Amino acid sequence: MTSIEAVQGDITTERVDAIVNAANSTLLGGGGVDGAIHAAAGPRLLEACRRLRRTDWPDGLPVGEAAATDAFDLPCRWVIHTVGPNAHRGQTAPALLTSCFTRSLDVASGLGAASIAFPAISAGAYGWDAADVARIAIEAVRSHLAPGVDLVRFVLFGSRLLDAFDHALSRPAD
Ligand code: APR
């Protein structure tokens, strides 16, 4: 049975097996949590992302997909990069955001990760409403089977996002 929790904090300090990065399709870094993860992981993370672009994802990582690298100077073992839907580009279909969580869980399960931390994907620069992100994230994790993953932790940077996730967690599963 997977336990699901929401905490306030900085995902770069999480001591879980894998943390998820709210990346963009280039996989070459950015601001927000992407910038924080690259800064904390060190330059080898960008080299690993460039390798992903040269090999598996030459045209970039599509919205809703996920791909893993080592975590280098971070306290976790892997970084799972996913690309959230961008509301400013009209990418507002919930299924796109659901896919970020379910594909990241699939990748984590494939790696043998037992614990994973997610940020509030798309709730920052990509303009999605916090309550919608929380509802979609919790529903996706509750309903998606990820063999071997027994802890999912949502790590929220501020109290507003934490409140949104606490509220979504308090609602009974559909
Ligand atoms: N730990 C946890 N959460 C964080 C951290 C952190 N260190 N830094 C930021 N956040 C939160 C933001 O406050 C927001 O709630 O992560 C959430 C997602 O915000 P963004 O990082 O802006 O991600 P997103 O909305 O998916 O936009 C992705 O922004 O940084 C660029 O390269 C990235 O182009 C991509 C876009």
Question: What's the pLDDT tens digit per position in 2-23?
Answer: 899 999 999 999 999 999 999 9
Contact 151, 54 (CB under 8 A): no
List, in order, residues 6 or more apart from 108 with CB less than 8 Å away. Answer: 17, 18, 68, 78, 80, 116, 146, 149
User: Is 73 one of the annotated active-site residues of the chain?
Assistant: no
Q: What is the DSSP letter of 90?
A: T
Check residue 12 and give its pLDDT: 98
* Cα 60 from chain centroid (whole Å): 17
Cα separation of 16 and 55, whole Å? 27
Domain of residue 65, CATH code = 3.40.220.10
> What is the model's pLDDT at position 8?
98
| E strands present in 1-60 | 3-8, 18-23
The confidence band for 173, taking pLDDT boundaries of 50, 70 and 90, is confident
Return d(Cα 42, Cα 39) in angstroms, integer. 6
pLDDT of residue 174: 72
- From 17, 34, 150, 174, active-site residue: 34
CA of 99 to the centre of ligand 1 (A): 17
Q: Hey, whose CA ends up nearest to atom 3 of ligand 1?
A: 157
* Pocket mutation for ligand 1, best pick of 33, 82, 121 (most atoms within 8 Å of C-beta): 33
Q: How remote is the CA of residue 21 from the centroid of ligand 1, in Å?
A: 8
> For 146, phi and psi rounded to 5 degrees?
-130, 85
Report whether residue 117 contacts ligand 1, using a CB cutoff of 6 Å: no
- Length of the chain in residues, anyone? 174
**Does the beta carbon of 107 sit less than 6 angstroms from any atom of ligand 1?**
no
Tell me how far the alpha carbon of residue 121 lies from the centroid of ligand 1, in angstroms: 7
> Per-residue pLDDT for 36 more than 90?
yes
pTM listed for this prediction = 0.98
Q: How many structural domains compose the chain?
A: 1
Dump pLDDT digits (tens) for 60-93: 999 999 999 999 999 999 999 999 999 999 999 9
pLDDT digits (tens, 9 = 90+) for 97-152: 999 999 999 999 999 999 999 999 999 999 999 999 999 999 999 999 999 999 99
Range of the domain at 27: 3-170
Ligand 1 touching residue 129 (CB < 6 A):
no
| Cβ-Cβ contacts under 8 Å for 90 (sequence gap 6 or more) | none
25 Cα: distance to centroid of ligand 1 (angstroms) = 14
